[in-house]
């Protein structure tokens, strides 16, 4: 069992005229074998949390720590965090010209393996074909440049394909349901659910209960004003869908100023 722990995490970002604190003491512990969901209004720090865990240099940790299996990862570059078993599926995946999906996937798999245990071409193609079939993706997708010219739905499926091929210990899924129609949402959810088990855990950031109808979380966290203010089981998400965040703010006696951005 692997463990990802966020301890009293405070994070700031430099803006044009000031440094603004976004995360204000986040605490979260999850293990492989668990699916956690984070919900909350816009501007409360959900995406900042995932970007900080993965090592985006735009976000500055001013207090606290992030531990993977008891080891601090804050001093590690992004590629080292990935090799240790972290994976981030972003809202807006980058397009990379000149690198095909297949080339990228094989390089990413081998980056996590010892030099004397690189995946063979045959083993790679067998695994790739299996996962393409699961996600209802054509083989032509693997020969296209990474995300170049992809629709929003194709980019999301492609990130789940990467997830299935790389098999990280923990996947941070930042609004993978954004912009997906119901068919694409079901396919993406099927991919994530196929990994559920003792060797995989996921932190899913979403605004909507509909995703959690397909990927049922073990734990739901609600983030407001840079903190996790409430945690519960899957029923908490259903309650939020019915009552909204205003009801929870009133229940907890919170006075939160909400900002409409993607942090």
Between CA 29 and CA 7 the distance in angstroms is 8
Look up tokens 């909507």; give the residue.
208
**CA-based radius of gyration for the chain:** 18
Q: Is residue 93 part of a domain?
A: yes
Q: Rounded to the nearest 10 degrees, what angle do helices 152-166 and 101-111 cross at?
A: 30
C-alpha distances (whole Å) from 149 to each of 94, 144, 152, 195 are 11, 9, 9, 28
Q: Is residue 23 part of a domain?
A: yes
Look up tokens 């789940």; give the residue.
160
Q: Is residue 140 part of a domain?
A: no
Whole-number pLDDT of residue 154: 85
Q: Is residue 211 part of a domain?
A: yes
Q: Which token pair is 228?
A: 């996790």
Neighbours of 152 (CB within 10 A): 15
Instruction: Give this prediction's pTM.
Output: 0.90
3-state secondary structure of 195: coil
Whole-number pLDDT of residue 261: 46
Kindly report the backbone phi and psi dihedral angles of residue 3, in degrees, each rounded to the nearest multiple of 5, phi listed first: -130, 135
Please, are residues 181 and 153 in contact by the beta-carbon 8 Å criterion?
yes
Q: Is residue 51 part of a domain?
A: yes
pLDDT per residue of the chain (263 residues) written in tens, 0 to 9: 899 999 999 999 988 888 999 999 999 999 999 999 999 988 889 999 999 999 999 999 999 999 999 999 999 999 999 999 999 997 778 888 899 999 999 999 999 999 899 999 999 999 999 999 999 999 998 999 998 888 888 888 899 999 999 999 999 999 888 878 888 899 999 999 999 999 999 999 998 888 999 999 999 999 999 999 999 999 999 988 888 888 788 787 765 544 444 45
Q: Is residue 218 part of a domain?
A: yes
Distant-in-sequence, close-in-space partners of 95: CB < 8 Å, separation ≥ 6: 145, 146, 147, 148, 149, 150
C-alpha distances (whole Å) from 43 to each of 21, 88, 107 are 12, 19, 35
Between CA 191 and CA 199 the distance in angstroms is 15
Q: Is residue 126 part of a domain?
A: no
Q: What is the DSSP letter of 135?
A: T
CATH no. for residue 219?
3.40.50.300
Whole-number pLDDT of residue 29: 97
Whole-number pLDDT of residue 254: 67
**Range of the structural domain that residue 53 is part of:** 3-97+167-252
Please, are residues 10 and 25 in contact by the beta-carbon 8 Å criterion?
yes
C-alpha distances (whole Å) from 69 to each of 26, 74, 125, 165 are 18, 13, 32, 22
Q: Is residue 139 part of a domain?
A: no
Kindly report the backbone phi and psi dihedral angles of residue 216, in degrees, each rounded to the nearest multiple of 5, phi listed first: -75, 120
Domain count, the chain: 1
Q: What is the DSSP letter of 197?
A: B
């Amino acid at each position: 069992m692997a463990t990802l722990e966020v301890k009293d995490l405070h994070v700031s970002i430099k803006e044009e005229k000031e440094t603004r604190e976004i995360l204000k003491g986040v605490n979260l512990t999850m293990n492989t074998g668990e699916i956690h969901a984070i919900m909350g209004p816009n501007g409360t720090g959900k995406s900042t949390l995932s970007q900080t865990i993965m090592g985006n240099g735009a976000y500055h940790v001013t207090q606290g720590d992030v531990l993977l299996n008891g080891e601090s990862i804050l001093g590690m570059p992004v590629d080292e965090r990935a090799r240790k078993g972290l994976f981030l599926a972003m809202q807006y995946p980058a397009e990379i010209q000149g690198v095909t999906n297949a080339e990228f996937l094989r390089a990413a798999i081998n980056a996590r393996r010892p030099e004397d245990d690189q995946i063979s071409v045959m083993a790679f193609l067998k695994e790739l074909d299996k996962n393409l079939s699961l996600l209802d993706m054509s083989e032509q997708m693997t020969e296209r440049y990474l995300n170049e010219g992809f629709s929003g739905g194709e980019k999301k499926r492609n990130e789940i394909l990467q997830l299935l091929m790389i098999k990280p210990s923990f996947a941070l899924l930042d609004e993978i349901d954004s912009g997906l129609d119901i068919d694409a949402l079901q396919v993406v959810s099927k991919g994530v659910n196929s990994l559920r088990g003792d060797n995989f855990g996921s932190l899913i950031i979403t605004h909507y209960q509909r995703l959690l109808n397909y990927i049922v979380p073990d734990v739901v966290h609600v983030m407001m004003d840079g903190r996790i203010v409430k945690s519960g089981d899957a029923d908490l998400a259903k309650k939020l869908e019915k009552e909204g965040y205003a009801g929870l703010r009133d229940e907890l006696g919170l006075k939160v100023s909400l900002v409409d951005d993607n942090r």
